[in-house]
């Protein structure tokens, strides 16, 4: 698609010149925006992640996206790749065009509230027009994504009921759920690396809860498999809502609402470059799907899989990866941060401690490869910086955040 902005040059200038002012008050404005929006539209609490709200993560993500878009208000084509990535997330959550004006209205109210007199009528009118232009790009991109998802063989538009046909413990903290559609009809294929959104109504909870889970097996098997890590309570954090409910209460025969597969973190099967997968903890799930797909679709393509886990107790999918590594083109290496006595009796890990560039260079045959990684944010920062230090170019670096997207270059 192409985008054309019919904004008046004066409006464009006004918006661009006020971006830095809004950025300075970015989090204050979005915090106020959410307060106002949720008090006027509590029904939206059915779709927003309450934990992200409480930790301010979503505030930062939305603020950053709006200001980034405003900087490019006269050339919105430039932000299409980012809009597509956010659009995948929005589509999997079931975001609708009619919800955009609600967001816009409350964003402007929040700007007025926070900026006070500095938010002149001129400034507000310019931002209202800019928001409308940005929103129309999102709506158009998302329409294409909804249409694509529905048009696929076995596809669908919103949420569809899936039965848990098998529940398998993969490690001390990760459990897989094998899912088949309740209607018994076909399910769409997906690109390895894509995720689904799971929508849960938890007894006693006022609102539904939606979370994303990567599909962890290869497509084309007649089921979807998600693999969920239990987010246990710690001294300063409550237990994760959805992961614990799935582990403790969702059993074989139960039904879950799923959106169609989404996401643009996918393995490019048209390439023949060597590929390197680097996962930390449950970040293994999208990469495992890629590795399984590679075994079926491109068995001779050279691949290296590095997995980092705390220790053997929480190390999932070891057997699956050992099997994939029976192929000469595929090698598999394990890093344990703090191996247990049991791990030391049967040492099959290649590195103790945290992943670092020296170890990566010792097991990855070439840096002329496509690198895919996923894991906790500090792990991702380490891997990203190591790859940059090694001289891997940006176009060969691919990653996914298991939460609102962040910036790997900043501490
Ligand atoms: C694209 C994508 C793919 C993903 N794939 C997977 C996957 O394959 N497997 C997987 O296990 N996960 C995956 N995730 C993560 C998953 O979506 C959930 O975020 C995860 O399961 C936690 O959800 P929860 O409801 O259990 O925890 P939440 O209730 O959402 O809480 C999340 C964290 O916030 C903390 N928290 C909650 N409330 C507060 C508070 N008031 N103050 C401070 N801290 C708080 C919790 O302790 C917890 O650690 C993926 C995420 C994305 C975006
Ligand atoms: C132009 C307007 C919008 C922008 C710029 C925007 C931007 C974003 C961004 C950057 C994210 C994070 C994506 C990621 O995970 O990396 C996000 C997520 C999300 N957006 Fe939007 N968004 C817009 C409109 C909307 C609307 C209209 C709704 C619905 C009312 C909505 C609901 C959500 C929800 C529910 C999430 C996931 C939040 C979470 O799980 O915590 N957004 N959006």
Ligand lying nearest the CA atom of residue 48: 2
Q: Which CATH number fits domain 7-149: 3.40.920.10, 3.40.50.450, 1.10.520.10, 1.10.490.10?
A: 1.10.490.10
Give the distance (Å) from ligand 2 centre to CA of residue 351. Answer: 39
Edge-to-edge strands of the sheet including 174-181?
209-214, 195-200, 255-259, 159-169, 174-181, 224-229
Atom of ligand 1 nearest to the CA of 234: 47
Q: pLDDT tier at 60 (50, 70, 90 boundaries)? A: low
What are the helix (H) ranges across 259-324? 284-297, 318-324
Choose which residue among 55, 60, 61, 212 to substitute to test ligand 2 binding: the one with the highest number of ligand atoms within 8 A of its C-beta. Answer: 61
Tens-place pLDDT, residues 138-187: 999 999 999 999 999 999 999 999 999 999 999 999 999 999 999 999 99
Q: How confident is the model at residue 57 (pLDDT cuts 50, 70, 90)?
A: low
- Among 15-19, 211-215, 338-342, 353-357, the least confident range: 15-19
Rounded to whole angstroms, the Cα distance separating 148 from 296 reads 25
Determine the pLDDT at residue 294: 98
How is residue 30 written in tokens?
């979005």
Banded pLDDT at 59 (limits 50, 70, 90): low
Q: pLDDT, tens digit, for every residue of 15-38?
A: 999 999 888 888 888 889 999 999
Mean pLDDT of 373-397: 97
What own/partner pairs with CB < 8 Å and gap ≥ 24 does 315-319 have? 315/171, 316/170, 316/171, 316/173, 316/174, 316/227, 316/282, 316/284, 317/170, 317/216, 317/227, 317/284, 317/288
- 70 C-beta closer than 6 A to ligand 2: no
Beta strands in 32-145 (DSSP E): none
* CATH ID of 157-257, from 3.30.10.20, 2.40.30.10, 3.90.550.10, 3.40.50.10190: 2.40.30.10
Residue nearest to atom 43 of ligand 2 (CA): 62
Query: Would you say residue 3 has pLDDT above 70?
Result: no
Q: Which residue's CA is the nearest one to ligand 1's atom 13?
A: 213
Q: Is the CB of 55 under 6 A from ligand 1?
A: yes
Q: Helix crossing, 9-24 with 57-71: angle to 10°?
A: 150
Which CA distances in Å does 53 have to 31, 320, 405?
9, 36, 14
Residue-level pLDDT at 409: 84
Q: Is 198 in the pocket of ligand 1 (CB under 6 A)?
A: no
pLDDT of 111: 92
Confidence of residue 257 (pLDDT cuts 50, 70, 90): very high
State if pTM tops 0.85.
yes
Would you say the CB of residue 52 lies under 6 angstroms from ligand 2? Answer: yes
Over residues 188-209, the mean pLDDT reads 97
Domain boundaries defined on the chain: 7-149, 157-257, 273-398
pLDDT > 80? residue 131: yes
Q: Which residues are catalytic?
A: 100, 142
50 lines ligand 1 (CB under 6 A): no
Name every residue whose Cβ is closer than 8 Å to that of residue 247 and which is 6 or more positions away in sequence.
175, 228, 230
Ligand 1: which atom is nearest the Cα of residue 174? 11
**Domain 273-398 in CATH 3.40.50.80:** yes
Q: What is the pLDDT of residues 284-324, one digit of tens each?
A: 999 999 999 999 999 999 999 999 999 999 999 999 999 99
Q: Which of 57-66, 135-144, 369-378, 388-397 has the lowest mean pLDDT?
A: 57-66
| pLDDT for position 408 | 87
Which-ligand-closest: CA of 130? Answer: 2
Rounded CA separation 164/389 (Å): 44
pLDDT of 49? 84
Residue 242 has what pLDDT? Answer: 97
Share of the chain above pLDDT 70, in %: 97
Q: Which ligand is nearest to the CA of 174?
A: 1
Residue 284 is labelled as binding a ligand: yes
User: What does the DSSP assignment read for 121-140?
Assistant: HHHHHHHHHHHHHHHHHHHH
62 lines ligand 2 (CB under 6 A): yes
């Amino acid at each position: 698609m192409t985008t054309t902005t019919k904004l008046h040059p004066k409006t464009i200038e006004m918006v661009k010149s006020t971006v830095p002012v809004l950025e300075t008050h970015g989090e204050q404005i979005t915090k106020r925006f959410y307060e106002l929006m949720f008090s006027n539209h509590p029904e939206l609490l059915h779709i927003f992640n309450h934990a992200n709200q409480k930790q301010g993560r979503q505030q930062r993500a939305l603020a950053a996206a709006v200001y980034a878009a405003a900087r490019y208000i006269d050339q919105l084509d430039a932000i299409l790749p980012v809009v597509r990535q956010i659009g995948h997330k929005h589509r999997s959550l079931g975001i609708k065009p009619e919800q955009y004006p609600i967001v816009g209205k409350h964003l402007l109210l929040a700007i007025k509230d926070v900026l006070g007199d500095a938010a002149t009528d001129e400034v507000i009118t310019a931002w209202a027009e800019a928001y409308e232009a940005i929103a129309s790009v999102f709506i158009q991109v998302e329409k294409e994504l909804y249409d694509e998802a529905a048009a696929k063989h076995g596809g669908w538009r919103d949420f569809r009921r899936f039965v848990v046909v098998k529940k398998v413990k993969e490690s001390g903290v990760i459990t897989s759920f094998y899912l088949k559609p309740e209607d018994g009809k076909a399910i769409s294929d997906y690109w390895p690396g894509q995720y689904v959104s799971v929508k849960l109504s938890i007894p006693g909870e006022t609102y539904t809860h939606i979370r994303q889970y990567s599909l962890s097996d290869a497509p084309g098997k007649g089921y979807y498999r998600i693999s969920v890590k239990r987010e246990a309570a710690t001294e300063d954090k409550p237990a994760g809502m959805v992961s614990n409910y799935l582990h403790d209460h969702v059993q074989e025969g139960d039904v879950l609402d799923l959106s169609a597969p989404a996401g643009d973190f996918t393995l490019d099967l048209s390439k023949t470059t060597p590929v390197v997968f680097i996962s930390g903890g449950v970040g293994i799930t999208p990469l495992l799907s890629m590795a399984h797909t590679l075994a079926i679709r491109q068995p001779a393509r050279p691949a290296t899989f590095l997995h980092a886990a705390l220790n053997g107790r929480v190390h999932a999918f070891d057997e699956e990866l050992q099997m994939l590594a029976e192929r000469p083109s595929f090698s598999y290496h394990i890093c344990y941060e703090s191996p247990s006595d049991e791990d030391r009796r049967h040492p099959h890990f290649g590195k103790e401690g945290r992943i670092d560039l020296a170890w990566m260079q010792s097991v990855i045959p070439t840096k002329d490869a496509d690198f895919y990684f996923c894991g906790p944010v500090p792990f991702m920062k380490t891997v990203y910086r190591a790859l940059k230090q090694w001289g891997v170019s940006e176009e060969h670096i691919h990653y996914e955040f298991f939460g609102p997207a962040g910036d790997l270059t900043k501490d």
